[in-house]
Amino acid sequence: MKYTKILASLLLCSVFSLSSCNDKPTSKVGEIPEGDVSNSATTTEADTPITSTEPAQNAAGVWHYTCPNGDSGGAGSAVPCAVCGATLAHNSAYHGNPTDTSNASSTAPFANNPAAESGQNTAGVWHYICPKGDAGGAGTATACPTCGTTLVHNQAFH
């Protein structure tokens, strides 16, 4: 008899909480209610695909994404390679900017940018290396030029 109150309370709570699970929406996604007179041909920001404003190749002809296996060609995004099917890896050389010497005589101390950190320390150890053991490395966690895997931090660098 002492379990009767507990069971009755649990049953009552279950009925109240589960009865709200049967609520159905009044319209399905993509369905336009009868009274809606808006133009269904208009698109919203969520409907439009996001496109990159950067071209697939820069002015020097360097591809933004290249095949990690070294196949010729490239693309503007990480799509499968047309030759081997491997996913194209980001090519950091695409973003290489020529050195601007027109502002070299600036005397403002805040205008001087610090030098970029080198990929190797004085002992020649790479900051980021391939987890698969491929030779080489980089100063940032970019794609391995040999296999396309993202480089990982090398504790031996510090």
Q: What are the mean pLDDT values of the chain's consecutive 10-residue runs (158 residues total)?
A: 80 74 57 54 49 69 83 84 85 65 51 60 83 85 85 82
For Cα atoms 70, 80, 153, give the angle at the middle one, nearest 5 degrees.
65
Phi and psi based region of residue 111 (left: phi greater than 0; alpha: psi -120 to 50; beta: remaining): alpha
Q: Name the pTM for this structure.
A: 0.31
CA distance 92 to 87: 16
* pLDDT value, residue 122: 81
How do the domains of the chain map onto residue ranges? 55-95, 118-158
Order of strands across the sheet with 65-66?
74-75, 65-66, 89-90
Q: What is the pLDDT of residue 35?
A: 55
pLDDT at 108: 53
Of 116, 127, 118, whose CA–CA distance to 158 is shortest?
A: 127
The reported pLDDT for the residue numbered 105 is: 52
pLDDT score recorded for residue 20: 62
